Amino acid sequence: MTQDGTLVVADGRGVLRFERTLHHSPETVFAALLDPDSLRAWFPCRIDGGWEVGAPLTFVFETRDEHDARSGGNGLPPTSGEVLAHDPPRHLEYAWGDQTLRFDLSPTDNDGTLLVFVHTFPDPEEAPNYAGGWHQLLDALDAHLDSRPADLSKQRNAEITASYRDLTP
C-alpha cells in the first residue's frame, strides 16, 4: 500500500484518495478526527460545531506561525459545512463549503487502523496542491498519534506538493 494519494475525476469533480495504516485502534484514530486538541496538532483549521448528522460546522482558520504550511489560511474568513455521516469509530464525513471530506476506518490484524481518506472538490486541476497538503497533514496525524513531532513546515509542503505535480486529470 502506498502513502501517496490517487486522483480520479467523477462528475467533473476531483476525488483524492489516501490510504494509511496507523498503529492505533480505530477508536483512538476516530477520536483524533474530532477532538479539538488533536485537530490543532494536524488539521488545517479549527472545527466548531457538534458531530451529529445534519449538524452545522464552522471551519475557522486560526493564525499560524509564518513557517507553518497551514498559515496559508491566516486571515481567511470562516467557512460553513455540515456533518453528513457520523458512525464511530468507522466512518465520518462532512461538507466543507463546496467540498467533502470522508474518513473510513477499519481495524487491521495488528490492532491498528486502515484509514481511507477521500477529499472531493470542484476543480480537478487543484489536485497537486490538495494532494500535497493532505499528504503532509495525514503524516502529521500519524505523528500526533505516535506522540512524535510533525514536520508542518512550508518547505516540507513544497517538497511533497512537487511530488504530485503530475497528478492531473
In a domain, 169, yes or no: no
Q: Which cell numbers hold the place of 91? A: 466512518
Closest C-alpha among 97, 96, 138, 146 to residue 117: 138
In a domain, 168, yes or no: no
For CA atoms 146, 147, 148, 150, the dihedral sign is positive
| Number of independent structural domains in the chain | 1
Give me the phi and psi of 49, to 5 degrees please: 135, 175
Task: Give the HSE-up count for residue 117: Cα atoms under 13 Å, Cβ half-sphere.
Answer: 26
In a domain, 1, yes or no: no
Asked if residues 139 and 115 have their Cβ atoms less than 8 Å apart, the reply is no
Point out which residues pair with 87 in neighbouring strands. 91
In a domain, 118, yes or no: yes
pLDDT mean by block of 10 residues, the chain; 169 residues: 80 96 97 97 96 98 89 89 98 98 96 97 94 96 97 94 85
CA distance 147 to 7: 30
| CATH assignment at residue 112 | 3.30.530.20
**What is the overall mean pLDDT for the chain?**
94
Point out which residues pair with 65 in neighbouring strands. none
In a domain, 34, yes or no: yes
CA distance 55 to 61: 20
Point out which residues pair with 90 in neighbouring strands. none
Where on the phi/psi map is residue 11: left (φ > 0), alpha (ψ -120 to 50), or beta?
A: left
* Domain housing 10: 6-163
In a domain, 101, yes or no: yes
Q: Which cell numbers hold the place of 27? A: 477508536
Give me the phi and psi of 38, to 5 degrees please: -65, -45
The pTM (predicted TM-score) of the whole model is 0.94
- Looking at residue 1, its pLDDT comes to 36
- Looking at residue 27, its pLDDT comes to 98
In a domain, 41, yes or no: yes
